[in-house]
Amino acid sequence: MSLLRKIRDTGRVAEPAPPRPQAAPPPAARDLGGSAQVRCVDAGSCNGCEIEIAAAFGPVYDAERYGARMVASPRHADVALVTGPVTRNMAEPLRRTTAAMPEPRVVVAVGDCAVNCGEFAGAYGVEGAVGDVVPVDLEVRGCPPRPEEIVAALRTVTGR
Amino acid sequence: MSGTGLTAVAAQIVVVISGAPLLAGWMRQVRARMEGRAGAGVLQPWRDTRKLLRKEPITPIGTGPAFRTAPALLVATTAVVAALVPLLSTTTPVSAHADLILVVALLALGTVALALAGLDSGTAFGGMGASREMTVAALVEPTILVAVFAFSIPAGSTNLAAIVAGAVREPSRLASPAGLLATAALAVAVLAETGRIPVDNPATHLELTMVHEAMVLEYSGPDLALVELGAQMRLTVLLGLLASLFAPWGIATDASWPALAVALAAFVVKVAVLGAVLAAAEVFWAKVRLFRVPELLAGSFLLALLAVTSSYFLSGE
């Protein structure tokens, strides 16, 4: 019962929705119609971006209210959220993951490392940025990007 | 048979198919509000379905007919169950065939089709999910049968329509010890059959804890839409059956239009309330360990057995 009282006292923690982002959605996202299943791929990240993605799907930012939902399989996914510079061992798994996703699919590179290798550019274990391995539709900058920016990118995809 | 009977059957199928995604959306919304979220809205599962239907279907290399036919078979068997069981009316052209054993067998056929598809996909998680689903199904099907037998003893029939019509005439059957025990047993069995939280977590991302989700990891596009629709329809039908058996008030027992309209409203309200209660309860519960699931289901089977026993001895026959 104490949990029930806690739920009543806490009420709603989700922040009011910011205005809809103005950026045009990537061409592959036009048919999604307010629903996007998201698969996260950690291609070699330091886990900073993962923490921000987890925050974006948490109760405060609540990316789920815009129709984005995390799924367990690339076969169910429309969006791949790829984080980190692509390490040599993760290049092939990343290619296979995007190949397993049914068309139309959207690849979002999250964080500076995913966009241009960031801190790890030129390291011996790094194959390249995400764009060097699979075609990228949308980029989210920042090290790590703020949850608002991840949510804004997901809203651009879902169009809500 | 009369036009109202046919309309009742058609209405049951239409309400279950169109209402099942709404029920799923409603339950997610209730849960989201209790977690302090805003929630995606009641219509979100319909948006997901619309999007999945537009996507490319992928048939993984090496899969055969079991994988391809399972989604259609799951939806078809559930639609037949939705037509048979007395959700809106107990006097329909097909109510004479609404036998308990047939209904449970149809549900089991859908379960087995999906388990075979999980095996057919050839992945480690598909086979693991299939074996778990069969373990749960082997424990759940007898519980559903035995729990409803507790009601078929006073009704003198295993026909679900006859059981529900009898309970409407004599509400005292529901308040009996047998009725209460059977309610508890069937509620646990429904949770397990539909893969809800103490047994399976429908929102999990951890493959090792999955039961239902692990079997459908390889589905995509329209096939996935059918699998999800099938799962949502099963939840709607089973919650509706639970409501019809244990709170049959409002269900149409004669073939008149006003009775059917009242039954439709009562069905929507009852299933929405049950769904909200289930979603709220899931916020408080954790998924039990897989090795504890047989204990939970054995407990519910024991309740069902006690219900039958007390129904047999206390009915005074």
Q: Do B224 and A76 touch (CB under 8 A)?
A: yes
CB B106 within 8 A of CB B264: no
* Max avg pLDDT among A3-17, B7-21, B150-164, B278-292: B7-21
How many Cβ contacts (< 8 angstroms) between chains A and B? 92
**Residue-wise pLDDT tens digits, B46-85:** 999 999 999 988 989 889 999 999 999 999 999 999 999 9
Whether B37 sits inside 8 A of A67 (CB atoms) is: no
The verdict on pTM exceeding 0.80 is yes
* B218 contacts A62? CB cut-off 8 A: no
Position B205 scores a pLDDT of 83
**pLDDT class for B317, splitting at 50, 70, 90?**
low
Sheet (strand A68-70) strand order? A68-70, A36-42, A79-83, A106-110, A138-140
CA distance linking residue B81 with residue B94, whole number of Å:
11
- Separation in Å, CA of A146 to nearest CA in chain B: 19
**pLDDT score recorded for residue B1:** 53
| pLDDT, tens digit only, all 160 positions of chain A | 788 898 889 889 999 999 998 888 888 888 888 899 999 999 999 999 999 999 999 999 999 999 999 999 999 999 999 999 999 999 999 999 999 999 899 999 999 999 999 889 999 999 999 999 999 999 999 999 999 999 999 999 998 8
Domains of chain A (ranges plus CATH)?
37-158 (3.40.50.12280)
CB A103 to CB B44 under 8 A? Answer: no
Q: How far apart are CA A55 and CA A57, in angstroms?
A: 5
B235-273 exposure pattern, b = at least 16 Cβ within 10 A, e = fewer: bbbbbbbbbbbbbbebbbbebeeebbebbbebbeebbbe
| pLDDT at position A1 | 76
Chain B contacts in chain A segment 90-149 (CB below 8 A): 100-104
- Write down the mean pLDDT value for chain B: 91
Nearest CA distance, B144 vs chain A (angstrom): 31
pLDDT of B7 higher than 70: yes
pLDDT score, position A30: 85
Shortest CA gap B215–chain A (Å): 11
Q: Do B50 and A75 touch (CB under 8 A)?
A: no
Of B34, B40, B224, the CB nearest to A7: B34
Please state the domain count of chain B: 1
Give B236-290 pLDDT, tens digit per residue. Answer: 999 999 999 989 988 988 878 899 999 999 999 999 999 999 999 999 988 898 8
User: What are the residues whose beta carbons fall under 8 Å from the beta carbon of B6, sequence distance 6 or more?
Assistant: B92, B93
Question: Phi/psi class of residue B251: alpha, beta or left (left: φ > 0; alpha: ψ in -120 to 50)?
Answer: beta
* Domain around B273: 3-314
**Per-residue pLDDT at B316 exceeds 60:** no
Greatest CA separation found in chain B?
Answer: 61
pLDDT tens for residues B201-246?
Answer: 888 888 888 889 999 999 999 999 999 999 999 999 999 999 999 8
Whether the CB of A7 is below 8 Å from some CB of chain B: the reply is yes
